[in-house]
Every structure is written in structure tokens, then in C-alpha cells.
Structure 1
Amino acid sequence: MLSVKGSVSSTENLLFNAVLRPNRNLSKKGFKVLMGFIFSIIFICSLGFFLAGAWPVLGFLGLDVALVYFAFRFSYRSGGQYELVQMTEDEMLVTTVNPWGQKRSFSFQPYWLQISLKEQDDENSLILSSHGRSISLGRFLAPIERKELADKLVSVLNRLKQNQV
């Protein structure tokens, strides 16, 4: 999900400020409702198997519920990652935070920064590069969201470069 905060007041000197997060369509409440529904269906099915004398099936049905639960938990864990993109007149700072909370920061000079959107079939990748260093930005975004982000970054960068001439 692309959450652009836009320009901030001149005292903070930010020309661009955006937080990029993976899209999560299912809320925590929705997850609980879904797991309750799955558990109810599995319980009813397992009761039928138990009454028919096929009690070993209960373990496999329980394993199914556990696997679905852990798959969703893993998906929510990856939702904790984000990228923070901030640009001032002197610096573009990209801070990436992985699902385990580890942060990495990359700093670029806006005047030398190159923004490229490499498109292949229905996919694209947004690459920021300068002085032999590059970073891929917004890998978890949808292709259209990466294109919107690239357009906004190029627009801000062009305005900045025009003001410096």
C-alpha cells in the first residue's frame, strides 16, 4: 500500500515523505472470524468422521487448521515490513525495515540520483541508483503502485533540479 504524506512544512525541509507498506486485506478481526469459521467447519467434519469410526482422520483435520493458522501468521509477520522514503534538497534517505524489525538506511544525493522503472511483461521494478550504488524500491507494491511512486519521485526530483539551476 502506498501511503504518501506529500510535502511537509518548510521547517522540516522535506520535499517528499512516503511510507510504503505491503497490502493486507484481512484485518485482525477478520482473521479471527475466518479462523473461527474454518475451525467450525473442521469440527463438524471431524465429528462426522469420529462417529463413523474413522477417528485417525481427526489428527489430519487438526493439522489442516494448524497449517492455515501458521500460514496466515507468517503472512501477517511479513506485513510488518515497510520502506520509508524521504527527500530533502540535499539528501534522499531510504530506510527499509524487514519483517523482523532490522533497519537499513540508504542515502543518495538527489542531484545525481537516477530513477528507473524497468518493465517486463506485466511486472516492473523501481530502481534508485547513484554513484554505482542501487536499491530496488517497493518490491511488495503492485506494479501500478510502483509506477505511481516512480512518477511522483521523478516529478519531485525534476522540480528540485530545476530550482537548483
Structure 2
Amino acid sequence: MDQTKAQSETIMLNFSEDCALTEMMRMRVSSLQRSGQKRQEGERLLLPNEAVYRLDFPSQDLSFQHWHFSLRAHGRVTITGISQHWTPDLTNLMSRQLLEPIGTFWRNVADPPDTPLKCLEADMQEFGERIAELAKVRRVMYFLLAFKEGAEADHLSCAIQFTAHK
């Protein structure tokens, strides 16, 4: 197989923050706090250290290959997929819509900066495969990314590599 054909079959998709959806979810939390109301049973509210990210799928027939993740400092990042179509302007995010397993990457404070990030490889493999399965029926998929133990969004680069089938 020539190199040009091999490159055209590999797709690298970057997770991008959806600032509008993140802000809308933050407004829901703020509204509940101001009015003194409680969340609905089963509703999942956005935590202060979380943001909504998205993947846009240019193709629906994908096979998961590899995660590409970098964090320029120490900390922990968890990625939780949202399994259903969700429109926060019309419906609230419910806990039952969250995928298992979640993805977790981290670097400890004592680790040198050039140390590869740690992750739970079996969970990350399964998570990547679930994303590829959902891509068969989706053009877009949403994720909650939580930044913990000193991790910051500005220090994060996250992408997932797929093979596109023709």
C-alpha cells in the first residue's frame, strides 16, 4: 500500500472545547443556586473544574486506533463521554447519559516533565472503541473533561486517532 493511501485512511480528531455549551451548563448551576432550587433527580450539573468538549466526526465508519494526549504540567484529566444526543438549551444532562468507562490521564507532581502520561490502558482502549461505535450514528459527540490536581485546560492537548473505512 502506498504512503498516500495509508495517510488518507487515518483520521486524527482533536477534542475542542465547546464554550457555548459549557457556559450554558454553568448558567443552569447559577440559576438553581440563585432560585434556591435543587437539581432534578438524576440530573448531572457541571462542576467548577469541568468543561464541555466535542468531537466532530467527518466519517461514520471508524475504527479506534490510538489516543494522543499531552499535558504540559502535572495533574489529572478525566474524560466522560455523553452517550445520547443532548441539547442543554432544551434538556438537562442526566447521569444515565454518561458513558462508562471514563478516560483518565495523569502525571504526578514528582514525575519529571518528560515522563509519559499515565492512564488505565484497558479502560482507554474500551472507551476509544465505544466512541468509534457511537460515531456510526453521530456527526458530533460531547464529553465532560474534568481538570484535577493542578491540571489546566491551557496545558492540555487531546486527540483520538481512527482508521476510516471506505
Report 1 or 2 for greater relative contact order, CA contacts < 8 Å, sequence distance ≥ 6.
Answer: 2
The structure having more radius of gyration, on CA atoms, is 1
Higher strand share: 2
Higher helix share: 1
User: Do they superpose with TM above 0.5?
Assistant: no
